[in-house]
A and B are shown apart, each in its own frame.
Chain A
Amino acid sequence: DTGVSQDPRHKITKRGQNVTFRCDPISEHNRLYWYRQTLGQGPEFLTYFQNEAQLEKSRLLSDRFSAERPKGSFSTLEIQRTEQGDSAMYLCASSMYSEAFFGQGTRLTVV
């Protein structure tokens, strides 16, 4: 069991570019979550999958954000037309029942 894996660890992009992050959950975990954390705050929920179905999306997830989890395994989070306000740590978590386990995060900087 290798834990939750996120790629890349760091991403610097120019405003207006598109970025995509990947999350590989713990194997056999059927639930996968994306959170966003800005400086000095706790993580905030973005979206949640059970298997391949996206069951909930936060109001924080604007139309520029899209997440997928094809085949109920890994997930991708895409941000289109990035803005400076998108700069944050993007965290992925997975769970089987209730206890959630987090990956190392992807730190996005939009310049």
Chain B
Amino acid sequence: GIQVEQSPPDLILQEGANSTLRCNFSDSVNNLQWFHQNPWGQLINLFYIPSGTKQNGRLSATTVATERYSLLYISSSQTTDSGVYFCAVELEGGSEKLVFGKGTKLTVNP
């Protein structure tokens, strides 16, 4: 099945720093989403981005579908950005389920 790899697995930043999270996937996809999992376990939608670039405040994302990767940029990080960030993809021509990476655990220190 499709493989989804996220890097780095862990990231520690000082408040105000910028960061880039990466998601590589092994096959063509119909759908790619980025989520932030809050401390209570809920997955919060950040971006639906099967291709192209989107921005929402301090966060932006770029997916290069032909090269099978996506990047999530966090600028001017805040302590509330801490948590686990997941990339999830839906295989092109496959079933309509999301396959998740193992996540990047981000810790932002004050």
Check B102 against A99 for contact (C-beta < 8 Å).
no
Determine the interface band of chain A, counting residues with CB < 8 A from chain B: 20 to 34
**Residue from A41, A43, A99 within 8 A of B45 (CB atoms):** A99
* B107: min CB distance to chain A, Å: 15
Give the residues in chain A near B14, CB-CB below 8 Å.
Answer: none
Would you call the interface of chain A mostly helix, strand, loop, or mixed? Answer: strand
Which of A14-22, A69-77, A103-111 contacts the other chain?
A: A103-111
Check A45 against B102 for contact (C-beta < 8 Å).
no
Check A101 against B97 for contact (C-beta < 8 Å).
no
Most buried by B among A55, A91, A99: A99
Q: Confirm or deny: A98 has a beta carbon within 8 angstroms of a beta carbon on chain B.
A: yes
* B87: min CB distance to chain A, Å: 9
Check B42 against A99 for contact (C-beta < 8 Å).
no
Q: List 24 A-B contacts (CB under 8 A).
A: A37-B41, A40-B102, A42-B86, A42-B100, A42-B101, A42-B103, A43-B43, A43-B88, A43-B98, A45-B97, A45-B98, A45-B99, A48-B97, A56-B97, A91-B43, A93-B43, A98-B30, A99-B31, A99-B33, A99-B48, A101-B45, A102-B43, A102-B45, A107-B41
A residues lining the B interface (CB < 8 Å): 31, 33, 35, 37, 40-45, 48, 50, 55-56, 89, 91, 93, 95, 98-105, 107
The 4 nearest A-B residue pairs measured at CB: A42-B100, A102-B43, A99-B48, A45-B97
